[in-house]
Amino acid sequence: MARVSVLKRFLRKKLRRYFFAGLLVLVPVGLTIVVVRWIVSLMDGLLVRMLPLRWQPEQLFGFAVPGLGVVLTFLLIIFTGVLATNYFGHKLVRASEKLVYRIPLVKGIYTLFKQVADTVLSSDRQGFRKVVLIEYPRKGLWSIGFVTGVSEGELQRITARRVINVFIPTTPNPTSGYYILVPEEDTCVLGMTVEEAFKLIVSGGMVSPPDRYKGVPVAGAAASSFPSEDGR
């Protein structure tokens, strides 16, 4: 009986180990497939349906073409980029923006999304390129933040010290958070990338990036330099 009991415990332990090992492999794969399928279906539903009826895959081939919406989205982005980077296309974009700015409600929404896109996607600005550690919301508690630039104008003039713009994301949804102004000397620049910081925040600290400054004095690792918009 004792031998049977030991065997049962051994089997339960092994089965439990294999079960959780399988979950660790299948859950990320399964969720990735679900999200990718949802994105593809969303794009197919939005863009493919915008095509003239005679050009839709069901009419041309007799069946739907999965992923066609993704291809159309990519081509639309490339075409818009080509259009926006030549002289006449740039003029057309400017004229369209002037028209949008004349519509009160639409103007506010468009301006908000344009500023966010400029901050995140622009290659010649500093937004979301530095990950910092600051004491927030009080001394002794630390939060991860993203530098979105150096404060300019009235805000910089009123504050006694040079301050930088920092976005503090929330867990598990990093797209929401808080915008705060932090004195430059009160920030500690981290070695992790923005992508690694997002993973850390979304996972609630369970996915931690490697320490690139291991063995380096904190003062050296924390040295920060945030040039202003005019390069000073």
- For the stretch 3-57, pLDDT in tens is 767 777 878 888 888 998 888 889 888 989 998 888 888 888 887 777 887 788 7
Average pLDDT rounded to a whole number, residues 138-147: 92
Contact, 168 vs 180, CB < 8 A? yes
CA angle 29, 211, 17 (to 5 degrees): 40
Half-sphere exposure of 204 (CA within 13 A, CB side): 1
How many angstroms separate the CA atoms of 115 and 129, rounded? 16
Contact, 188 vs 168, CB < 8 A? no
Tokens 């980077």 correspond to 85
Radius of gyration of the chain (CA): 25
Average pLDDT rounded to a whole number, residues 81-89: 85
- Nearest to 111, CA basis, from 124, 98, 126, 127: 98
pLDDT at 132 over 90: yes
The single-letter code of the amino acid at 161 is R
Q: How would you classify residue 205: left for phi > 0, otherwise alpha for psi between -120 and 50, otherwise beta? A: left
Supply the pLDDT for residue 65: 80
> What are the domain boundaries of the chain?
130-221
> 51-83: per-residue pLDDT in tens?
887 788 777 777 778 888 888 888 888 988 888
| pTM of the model as a whole | 0.52
pLDDT at 165 over 50: yes
Supply the pLDDT for residue 183: 92
> 151-163: per-residue pLDDT in tens?
888 888 888 788 9
Report the sign of the C-alpha dihedral through residues 156, 161, 164, 170, in that order. Answer: negative
**From residue 217, how far is each of 49, 71, 100 by CA, in Å?**
58, 49, 52
> 198-227: per-residue pLDDT in tens?
889 988 888 888 887 665 555 444 445 555
How many angstroms separate the CA atoms of 193 and 222, rounded? 15
Backbone angles phi, psi at 134, to 5 degrees: -135, 155
Supply the pLDDT for residue 227: 55
Backbone angles phi, psi at 97, to 5 degrees: -65, -40
DSSP, collapsed to helix, strand or coil, labels residue 26 as: helix
How many angstroms separate the CA atoms of 19 and 28, rounded? 15
Tokens 């040039």 correspond to 227
